[in-house]
Chain A
Amino acid sequence: MNKILLSPTCPNSCNSNYKNNTLDITANGLERLITPVTKTMMAVSAITLGIMSIPIFLDVIARLVLHKSMPGIIELEEFFMVVIVFLALGATHGKEGHISIELLTSRLSARVKDSLDLFNNITGTFFFGLMTFRMALATVKKAGEYSVMLQIPVSLFMGIAVLGLGTLTLVLLIKLIRAVSILMKTKNWTGLLLALTASVLLLSFPLWYGTLPVKPSRLGLGGMGMGFMMILLLAGMPIGFAMSIVGFLGLSVISFSITPALMTLGTAPYSTTASFILAVAPLFIFMGLLASEAGISQDLFDTANKWLGRLPGGLAMAAIAGCSGFAAVCGDSMATAVTMGSVSLPEMKRKRYSSGLACGALAAGGTLGILIPPSVGFIFYALVTEESVGKLFVAGIVPGILLTFMFMASIWCIALVRPDLAPRGESFSLKEKLLSLKGVIGMLVLFVIILGGILAGIFSPTEGGGIGVIGSTIIMALRGRLNWQAISRSCDQAVSITARLLMILIGVSILGYFLAASRLPFELAKLVTQNDLNRYLVLASIMGLFALLGCLMNVIPMILLTLPAIFPTVLALGFDPIWFGVLTVIIMEMGQITPPIGVNVFAISSVAEDVSMGAIFLGIIPFFLCMIVCLIALTLFPQLATWLVGVFY
């Protein structure tokens, strides 16, 4: 049997004593059928990601040398995004699954878990089947429309998206068949019936909602939608799925008919993905992975370890320093956490560090990835507020360094009080320490290329990711580490991270349209901005709202939803928009590590498989407090963020 795609037939409650039934044979047959297809699609996706930096690089060179721009770079990158994401959706779900929350499901009995699995798979299969069908209709409707510069038919790439969604539906169908088979083998008839009933009730919601005697208001619908989404998340449904489903069902009843919801289902996944702004995300992630293959992350950790390892909590401090250094070449916090985590966790485990402290430090340290430039966090802030990305990048440097030292100081304090949690490491001579400094050269070179290039006007921040990819590749080559395995490993990993990220962002956009229609975010934003007592009280309520919503949802989409309603007030109160951008990004960092949806914690737990998610969430508390102190410090001394901007601009 081919096991590349899907996990073994009996994940939870059955054991191999059971024989394969007809359902299993069907599932296996289907899997054999689609595995070559998904493998090919995955390969195309990885190759596309590998080459997507080339047009950007050539365009920068053409501008520099020929003073001419190549036409159509923007739409080309958008098309690349579509190919990368949609062709990888199915295979990604088959392999590791799209990101879901295991807080509750990991504590349930196997029988309950099996039926929840079935519920999620039935709902997912029908929902994505409907999405595939609606997007196919939208594709037909787009015939005759073409891209702006290169005049490529839009329907061509929408067709690719339909293919990808169709494959995801098939992968879900296989999982559905297997889930039914497991419930039948374990004679779990109650579970089967409940799962079936629940999914039918959920999917037919738009049909029976009309017959309800009492209907909630728009705001009420929005609030209930969010509550219901939390239930789906706790039931173990992948985050992106739950958001899309709630968004779709909400839209179908909040509008005058189901038509707008169906239309949104067919168009939103494509328009969300085909975005030049989002194209920087895979580029910066890919660059981080290449930098790691080039040995930059290992070198950074080694250098930090030689200087700090001997101190109380030295290894954890070295890991934070490594994160901070790596943040200077990587724009994404999850990628930073994973990269430094895979380098430093084994060492900390060997030295018998408390796993909660070690993982907490890395999850928090990883968030520095979006405070220290380059940063996708600032890019999203600039997208909403139309502020300069360059200024925001510069503004993040000093607070980033400050937060690094605060993280290290809190580890020092913890280690002084509880030496057993973080034992001291070995000591090194001054000569060894000085010699080890050459380990930071790789990081410095990349950092100077990216930030220097942006500040010198050679390329835009959006193009920085593409240049960074080429830069890391050159460093790999110079260090003799350039080989196909390394490149293809990085491509595969970057594709997988991107596909999982975009699945969430697709959900976010559909849910966002529903929330906008319900006007819930605007009313909340109005609530916090309308108390005209004191500007700092208003600021505190805004931060509080961000932090609260940041617990519940991924932070970048939360910013996209609420910031447009809040930003005018921030300006009206006379706050510096660049400074407020730094505060917002620190809040984004907090959201990355707070339960129940803490993306960095999920990421670290995927590296450290033997550590429970609860232990990591406990481990982040001291770092969370550091972030609050940092926010207060920035409010008292805004120069921390604005001073360096004044120097450069």
Chain B
Amino acid sequence: QVELPMSTVYMNTHPTVVNAWQPWFSQVSEKTRGELKLIYYNPNTLASLPDVYDSTVSGMIGLGGMDFSRNPGKFPLYTVMELPGMAPSAECGSLVVWDLYQKYPEMQKELSEIKVLWQWVSATFQIHTTKKLVKNLADLKGLKIIAWNKTSVSILNALDANAIMIPPTDSYLALERGMADGILCPLAPIVSFKISEAVNYTTVCDLFVTPFWAGIGRQVWKSLPESAQQILTETTGESMASRSGLTLDEGALKDSRLLKEKGHAFYTLEAEEKAKWLDATTSLREEWVREMESLGHKNARAIMEDAYRLGKEYAKTTGACFK
């Protein structure tokens, strides 16, 4: 009997862990007749977050999962997923990134130290504000918006807002005391960090998503019996990518219903206005292509265009998270 500790960025109470992964744990245990048991560990218990990749490679974490952006510079090509307007839902984005991984050897090479089981993307990032509902670029101009990562900062600056960087734990107070006018993040942390008590409006703009990997270190993978390897491969891949994304979308919808009951207002950006927002971020796409080309990826533009094409394609079936 083998016990495989799994650890990602999510707490054990996160909807994706509860609704997508825990059921899969039982499935694996059943199919292997109890020979392979997956056990979930909370973040930071087996390794600090930036060390999760190395810990997975070494086998400290049996099955690891983390956002690519946690190790800037290590997985450059995957930053394509963070370009603005890539996917209107986590499910759609998850299918796109999994497709890209299977199609492009250069993207596989960035993850060559682990056996990748699936990939997924975060819930879509929205703008949440305290006093004023943002309906267009003019409303957004000059507002102080909290950003938690570099992509948020570049996008906010491209949209003419003032990005300020404040850690998640301090964000509530900053918004409540007027140190910031709003925040750019998915819906889930709004609830878990109590930020919902300070913000009153959400502009659904699906600005971007962040991609994640999930996999097993090569050494651990080789130590597993062939039958277990087969079961792990069969039960993950595209279906797990889609299920991980779907649970994030469902979580966001559930949170939005809760917030609406408390009087929180939601506004979905009009298609015409959204096109304007994406136009304003053209420089980010060009910069991405330039940067990748300088790293030797001559077909960077093709990868980017393919990613956007896949995003449109999958969006037809998955639809947007907030319809």
Q: Are B153 and A149 in contact (CB under 8 A)?
A: yes
Q: Are B60 and A457 in contact (CB under 8 A)?
A: no
A251 nearest CB neighbor, chain B only: B60
CA distance A272 to B48 in the complex (A): 8
- Collect the chain B residues with CB atoms within 8 Å of residue A18's CB: none
Check if A484 is an interface residue, CB within 8 A of chain B.
no
- Collect the chain B residues with CB atoms within 8 Å of residue A388's CB: 172-173, 194
CA distance A500 to B307 in the complex (A): 50
Produce 1/0 per residue, A277-293, CB < 8 A to B. 10000000000000000
Q: Are B55 and A455 in contact (CB under 8 A)?
A: no
- The residues in A between 484 and 515 inclusive whose CB is less than 8 angstroms from any CB of B are 509, 512-513
Check if B203 is an interface residue, CB within 8 A of chain A.
no
- Interface size classification for chain A: 35 or more
Specify which of A141, A147, A386, A509 is in contact with B169 (CB 8 Å cutoff). A386
Q: Are B73 and A144 in contact (CB under 8 A)?
A: yes
Specify which of B41, B166, B178, B219 is in contact with A460 (CB 8 Å cutoff). B166
Check if B239 is an interface residue, CB within 8 A of chain A.
no
Known: A68-B162, A141-B54, A513-B45. A151 touches B173 (CB 8 A): no
Number of A-B contacts (CB under 8 A): 131
CA distance A88 to B37 in the complex (A): 44
Known: A69-B165, A144-B74, A255-B59. A513 touches B177 (CB 8 A): no
B71 nearest CB neighbor, chain A only: A145
- The residues in B between 38 and 64 inclusive whose CB is less than 8 angstroms from any CB of A are 41-42, 45-48, 50-51, 54-55, 57-60
Produce 1/0 per residue, B238-268, CB < 8 A to A. 0000000000000000000000000000000
Check if B220 is an interface residue, CB within 8 A of chain A.
yes
Q: Are A67 and B144 in contact (CB under 8 A)?
A: yes
Q: Are B42 and A564 in contact (CB under 8 A)?
A: yes
Q: Are A149 and B150 in contact (CB under 8 A)?
A: yes
CA distance A203 to B83 in the complex (A): 50
Q: Are B46 and A457 in contact (CB under 8 A)?
A: no
CA distance A461 to B166 in the complex (A): 11
- Collect the chain B residues with CB atoms within 8 Å of residue A461's CB: 170, 173
Check if B223 is an interface residue, CB within 8 A of chain A.
yes
Specify which of B11, B54, B164 is in contact with A138 (CB 8 Å cutoff). B54
Q: Give chain B nearest CB distance to A486 CB in angstroms.
A: 31
A386 nearest CB neighbor, chain B only: B193
Q: Give chain A nearest CB distance to B292 CB in angstroms.
A: 14
What is the interface of chain A, defined by CB distance below 8 A to chain B?
63, 67-69, 71, 73-74, 138, 141, 144-149, 151, 251, 255-257, 259-260, 262-264, 267-268, 271-272, 276-277, 382-383, 386-390, 454-462, 509, 512-513, 516-517, 564, 568
8 contacts between A and B (CB under 8 A): A63-B144, A251-B60, A259-B58, A271-B47, A382-B169, A460-B167, A513-B60, A564-B11
Known contacts A264-B58, A268-B47, A271-B50, then 14 further A-B pairs from the complex at CB < 8 Å, ordered by chain A residue: A63-B164, A74-B165, A145-B71, A146-B73, A260-B55, A260-B58, A271-B48, A276-B167, A388-B172, A389-B169, A389-B173, A460-B166, A462-B169, A568-B13
